[in-house]
Amino acid sequence: MSAAASSFRAAARLDRIKPSPSTAAAARVRALKAEGRRILDLTVGEPDFDTPEHVKQAAIAAIEAGETKYTAVNGTPRLREAIRGSLRRTHGIEYADAEITVGGGGKQVIFLALMATLDVGDEVLIPAPYWVSYPDMVRANDGTPVIVATSAEGGYKLTADALESAITARTTWVILNSPGNPSGAIYTEQELAALADVLRRHPAVSVLSDEIYSEISFTGAPAPSLAAVAPDLRHRVLVVSGVSKSYAMTGWRLGYAAGDPALIGAINTLQSQTSSCPSSISQAAAAAALEGPQDFIADSVPRYAERRDAAVAGIGAIDGLLPVVPDGAFYLYVDCAGIIGRTAPDGRILSDDQDVTLYLLDLAGVAVIQGSAYGQSPFFRISFATDLRTIAEAVEGIAEAVRALR
Ligand code: PMP
């Protein structure tokens, strides 16, 4: 029997978005590995560490205690309390219970926040380089992403002037991501205060503050939050975070948001009609992570810092490559303008960062992600959430590949 032809017809919304480029890179790496090639994979956006033991035990205990049913849409009271405690600890902000909600990862919470607020043509300001998902999440929810360029001199951060000139009557959100993926840039309190001055002149603009990497900071303190720096704007700032990165819990799918109770309520309404709530077991695990001992963060951040230093030193020594030194998160964004236009031994010309990425993969067996995915070229992103040995080998491979260029 022959298979029936598919009559699938996608909604117009699907034409506006594409699958995540990191997922595409992962597929290419898998294909090469299947051919038997050894690939050093520096594409992954997740910690290589295991979830802390006490967190796993909390999940097991939750299963055994029968915490295996739907929870409240906005999460268990215990988890909301743990989130409030975490925000108090890291930022000194006191949130009310009704100002907190949870979801299946920070990603889902951001998606629902956009769905809850965007109408056709509403604009969302996204400083580049940006996390790959923001523009497509905006498009999927009928909004218009407005990309705002940043500069090396400005540390790849949105300046007050750039914000002021990008705001229009349609601007609904500005997205701030600090520490940033892929730049690792952290906004200082002064920089946030300058942005707050602009925002005070534009009362219709809200800020989606993606703080998922806030505790993976090499400055000695968590990245500051606009909600704490400008308490008068707090109701206009949606703080989004989660346990994926800080506690090595990417697979548990648990994120959260804190902000205006009306917005939180709208997110809850959407959640009640989509997932109902995140996994009860993951909620118990996340509560344990947030309210339990914090030594996992204290132990892992210096290890990330050591890896960062190794990657920065190694890449910085390669002629033609310029690493952006990150203050947080676990990515190194590398300016590769110095090798664009050069010719590879097989005769191909590296005309953009996509070519550079493919060349590094083919010649050195090193997988990185092209800057075009993050809205800023020519760059590539290295993830240093991997061991020092892999980083050293990858740097050596990249150095050799770059030396082979004419
Ligand atoms: N924001 C940024 C900037 C990220 O890099 C990620 C994960 N790649 C997320 C949000 C979402 O993380 P999660 O859904 O696992 O909480």
Residue with tokens 């989606």: 208
Please give the sequence-ordered ranges of beta strands (E in DSSP) within 170-311, or none if there are none.
171-177, 206-210, 237-242, 255-258
Burial 346-377 (b: 16+ CB within 10 A, else e): eeeebeebbbbbebbbebbbbbbbbbbbbbbb
CATH topology identical between 16-45+296-403 and 69-292: no
Calpha distance 62→37 (Å, rounded): 42
Calpha distance 387→42 (Å, rounded): 11
Compute the average pLDDT of residues 57-81: 98
- pLDDT attached to residue 26: 76
Please state, rounded to an integer, the average pLDDT across all residues of the chain: 96
Model confidence band, residue 1 (pLDDT cutoffs 50, 70, 90): low
In angstroms, the first-to-last Cα distance of the chain is 56
Q: What is the pLDDT of residues 235-283, one digit of tens each?
A: 999 999 999 999 999 999 999 999 999 999 999 999 999 999 999 999 9
Model confidence band, residue 20 (pLDDT cutoffs 50, 70, 90): confident
Q: At 2, is the secondary structure helix, strand, or coil?
A: coil
In DSSP terms, 124 is beta-bridged to: 145, 173
All structural domains of the chain with their residue ranges: 16-45+296-403, 69-292
Closest ligand 1 atom to residue 22 Cα is: 8
Q: Which of 23, 111, 181 to mutate to test the pocket of ligand 1 (most atoms within 8 A of CB)?
A: 181
381: left (phi over 0), alpha (psi -120 to 50) or beta: beta
Closest ligand 1 atom to residue 255 Cα is: 16
Model confidence band, residue 5 (pLDDT cutoffs 50, 70, 90): confident
**CB–CB of 253/265 below 8 Å?**
no
Instruction: Check whether 371 has a pLDDT greater than 80.
Output: yes
Q: What is the pLDDT of residues 279-302, one digit of tens each?
A: 999 999 999 999 999 999 999 999
List all residues whose CB is within 6 A of at least one atom of ligand 1. 45, 105-107, 131, 177, 181, 210, 212, 242, 244, 250, 255
Q: What is the pLDDT of residues 307-333, one digit of tens each?
A: 999 999 999 999 999 999 999 999 999
Instruction: Check whether 82 has a pLDDT greater than 70.
Output: yes
189 Cα: distance to centroid of ligand 1 (angstroms):
23
Q: Which of 108, 111, 133 to mutate to test the pocket of ligand 1 (most atoms within 8 A of CB)?
A: 133
210 Cα: distance to centroid of ligand 1 (angstroms):
8
21 Cα: distance to centroid of ligand 1 (angstroms):
14
Q: Which fold has domain 16-45+296-403?
A: Aspartate Aminotransferase, domain 1 (3.90.1150)
ipTM of the complex: 0.99
**Two structure tokens written together for 133:** 């998902």
Burial 283-317 (b: 16+ CB within 10 A, else e): bbbbbbbbbeebebbeebbebbbebbebbbebbee
Residue with tokens 């090595």: 248
Q: For the whole model, what pTM was predicted?
A: 0.96
- Tell me the CATH class for 69-292: alpha beta
Calpha distance 290→90 (Å, rounded): 11
- pLDDT attached to residue 2: 60
Compute the average pLDDT of residues 3-31: 82
Of the candidate ranges 29-38, 130-139, 350-359, the one whose mean pLDDT is the lowest = 29-38
- pLDDT attached to residue 213: 98
- pLDDT attached to residue 19: 77
